[in-house]
Every structure is written in structure tokens, then in C-alpha cells.
């Protein structure tokens, strides 16, 4: 095995490049994997563009600690193990790691709320926790790893991370069979929510909104009852018409557009539930009194995907989850720059990099 590998390296906002780096040496309790593929997350694109949520500013501390290799949606095969690792892994196994590596000792970790870990170390944003846009990656001590069946395609396995996040969002919504649910945003995560609702959480009516018709077609294919493009349809009126003027029971915001927050608050019925999921590119300004005095809305957040990976892996095995059309582009690792551009574009849903 050569001792060098190709890796995308981020030095700062808009300062990314590809380099030859040493294949990392393992410490006790670590696994080295050869990457099979790594998806590009909207968060990776936003980090490269330099939004304050990642690099600080606008009253926010910096999250990124360069230089680092981006990518938290990766998986591969174990090529080396140092010492003991939990989970019965051996060289040759196909493996995926949850995107967060919990510290195990903070207030949240001690209570089992590991996805809210105070240190919040996610692969691909910090120099001590490199991600999967490389030929190899280290799964450190404390990482949460799962076996990936060989029968899953590369595209399916690449969706385990995002669809796990989708599943978390859907669980937070606490859907009942009586509910009319609106999902705002039919990117990878919204499409994962559509598939999760169809597989596990039947509802009365599932409505999906997006500004891109191609995504709406995918939403319909995977189980949306009604799809609406707010560019060409009065979506608020349409949802009112579909609910006898009452409004939807549940609104899940996964578009990343600050305007989708107001849209949801208008669309939702009194005592309905609003699930906020997106990483917004900027603040959203609303009249907060609509939450209490006007509608008595329940607001629930959703972050990462605690206890969701096994369900999604099984879902792909059981063919209740589908990757077709959701993974829209596949690039070679060397073409990472082009891949980031594609991920930003309107034609793409999920873009993956394959070393």
C-alpha cells in the first residue's frame, strides 16, 4: 500500500484544494477505512462559501477549525484496526460511521443525548476529525459505527447518513394517521422524509413543496399525494383548500430558505406542529406572537440522526427506501471542484464523490 493518499483540504472559506497527504497512522481504538464514496451535504457547500454558522461572525463563534478534509456522508471498507474496537469489526468489513463523534463525558452525552454533545465534533469540519473527501479516513475512538451490507449499492449506502437525518425529522413530527403533513423542500432530506413517512408513519395526506419541478416529480414518485411549486401556485391557498380551510397539522421546514418559516406559520393550523430542520443561510424574521397568541403552535427542532442509522440500513435492505434519482450525480474525487459546483446547482439532488 502506498503511504500517500489524495484528499480535499479546506484551509479557510473559499480556500479548498486537493493534496497528496500521508495516509494517517492509527492510534489505539481506531480503524482506517478506504473510502468507497462520500456525499456532498448542503452544509459542506455552505461551509465552503463561508457562511457565519461555520466560520464565525454575526455573533456566532467559528465551528470550523482548518485545515481539514470535508465530508461526513462517507463509508468504506476497513483496511486496518489498532487495538480493540467495539462492534465486531474486522479488516474487509464495509462500514459507516455516524456523522458525530460524541465526547462521551459532557452533560448531554452522560444522559444519552449524544447527538447534542457539547463539543459537537462532526467529521469534516475540524483538523482533528477529517472527513471522507479523501481516499482514506480514520474512525476514531468513540465513533459510532455500523456494518453496511454488501448488497446495498454505492448510491444507497451514500444515502444512509442523509436519510437518517430525514428519519429523525419525521420522528420529531410525531405524525398520526389523521394528519395532513406539509414538507417544504424536496432535496435529498425532504425526499428521505417522504420515503420515511411512506414506510413507517402513514398520514392522511402528504403535501410536498419545492421550487424545482424535477424534485417534485421525485417526491410524487416516492409517495407524496400532492406536490406544489410555490413559484407557479399559491401554495398557502392550495393547502387551505386541501384542508377545508383549516391548514396543515404538521409542517416540516427542510428547504433552508428563511421565507419558508413564515410560509409554514401561515400554512399550519392552530395547535399544529412546526418541525425546523434546515441550516439557514441567514436569520429569519417573523412575528413571534403567532406561536402563542394567534395559533398556539408546537415548535420542534431536529438535528442529526440519533438512533436512526440501523432503521435506514434495514429500510434499504427491505426496499422501502430507494436511491434512484435521489443520487443525481457521481464525480471522481479529483473532480471535487466541479462536484461542489454541481451540488450547488438546481439540477442536482445528491452529489457523491468516488475516489
- Nearest CA to 201 out of 179, 164, 175, 166 is that of 175
CA distance linking residue 84 with residue 78, whole number of Å: 14
Q: Cβ distance 162 to 41 under 8 Å?
A: yes
For residues 123 and 230, which CB has a smaller minimum distance to Zn ion in the complex? 123
| Least Cβ distance, residue 106 to Zn ion (angstroms) | 3
| Least Cβ distance, residue 163 to Zn ion (angstroms) | 11
For residues 247 and 256, which CB has a smaller minimum distance to Zn ion in the complex? 256
| Least Cβ distance, residue 183 to Zn ion (angstroms) | 17
The DSSP code sequence of 199-253 is HH---SEEEEE-S-HHHHHHHHHTT-SEEE-TTTS-HHHHHHHHTTTS-EEEEEE
| Least Cβ distance, residue 351 to Zn ion (angstroms) | 12
First to last CA, the chain: 15
Q: Is the previous residue joined to 329 through a cis bond, with omega within 30 degrees of 0? A: no
CA distance linking residue 217 with residue 21, whole number of Å: 42
For residues 41 and 78, which CB has a smaller minimum distance to Zn ion in the complex? 41
For residues 103 and 290, which CB has a smaller minimum distance to Zn ion in the complex? 103
For residues 192 and 264, which CB has a smaller minimum distance to Zn ion in the complex? 192
Which residues form the interface with Zn ion (CB under 5 A)? 41, 102-103, 106, 109, 117
For residues 93 and 253, which CB has a smaller minimum distance to Zn ion in the complex? 253
- Nearest CA to 33 out of 122, 123, 121, 109 is that of 123
| Least Cβ distance, residue 46 to Zn ion (angstroms) | 11
Task: Tell me the H-state helices in the chain.
Answer: 42-49, 52-55, 107-110, 154-158, 160-173, 188-200, 213-221, 235-242, 259-267, 309-317, 336-344
| Least Cβ distance, residue 96 to Zn ion (angstroms) | 13
Amino acid at each position: 500500500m502506498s503511504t500517500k493518499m489524495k484528499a480535499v483540504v479546506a484551509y479557510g472559506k473559499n480556500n479548498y484544494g486537493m493534496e497528496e497527504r500521508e495516509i494517517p497512522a492509527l492510534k489505539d481504538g481506531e480503524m482506517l477505512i478506504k473510502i468507497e464514496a462520500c456525499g456532498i451535504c448542503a452544509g459542506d457547500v455552505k461551509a465552503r462559501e463561508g457562511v457565519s454558522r461555520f466560520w464565525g461572525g454575526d455573533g456566532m463563534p467559528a465551528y470550523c477549525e482548518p485545515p481539514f478534509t470535508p465530508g461526513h456522508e462517507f463509508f468504506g471498507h476497513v483496511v486496518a484496526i489498532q487495538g480493540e474496537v467495539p462492534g465486531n469489526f474486522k479488516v474487509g468489513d464495509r462500514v459507516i460511521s455516524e456523522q458525530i463523534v460524541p465526547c462521551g463525558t459532557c452533560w448531554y452525552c452522560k444522559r444519552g443525548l449524544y447527538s447534542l454533545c457539547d463539543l459537537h465534533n462532526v467529521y469534516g469540519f475540524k483538523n482533528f476529525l477529517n472527513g471522507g473527501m479523501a481516499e482514506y479516513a480514520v474512525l476514531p475512538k468513540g465513533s459510532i459505527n455500523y456494518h453496511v451490507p454488501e448488497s446495498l449499492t454505492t448510491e444507497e449506502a451514500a444515502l444512509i447518513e442523509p436519510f437518517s437525518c430525514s428519519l429523525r425529522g419525521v420522528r420529531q413530527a410525531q405524525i398520526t394517521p389523521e394528519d395532513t403533513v406539509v414538507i417544504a423542500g424536496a432535496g435529498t432530506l425532504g425526499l428521505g422524509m417522504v420515503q420515511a413517512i411512506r414506510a413507517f408513519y402513514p398520514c392522511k395526506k402528504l403535501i410536498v413543496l419545492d421550487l424545482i419541478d424535477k424534485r417534485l416529480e421525485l417526491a410524487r414518485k416516492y409517495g407524496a399525494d400532492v406536490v406544489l411549486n410555490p413559484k407557479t401556485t399559491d401554495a398557502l391557498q392550495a393547502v387551505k383548500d386541501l384542508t377545508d380551510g383549516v391548514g396543515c397539522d404538521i409542517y416540516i421546514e427542510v428547504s433552508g430558505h428563511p421565507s419558508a418559516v413564515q410560509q409554514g406559520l401561515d400554512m399550519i393550523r392552530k395547535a399544529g406542529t412546526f418541525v425546523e430542520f434546515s441550516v439557514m443561510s441567514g436569520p429569519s424574521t417573523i412575528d413571534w406572537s403567532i406561536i402563542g397568541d394567534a395559533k398556539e403552535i408546537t415548535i420542534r427542532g431536529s438535528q442529526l440522526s440519533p438512533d436512526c442509522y440501523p432503521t435506514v440500513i434495514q429500510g434499504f435492505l427491505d426496499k422501502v427506501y430507494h436511491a434512484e434519482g435521489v443520487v443525481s450525480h457521481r464525480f471522481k474525487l479529483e473532480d471535487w471542484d466541479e462536484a461542489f459546483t454541481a451540488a450547488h446547482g438546481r439540477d442536482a439532488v445528491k452529489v457523491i464523490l468516488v475516489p
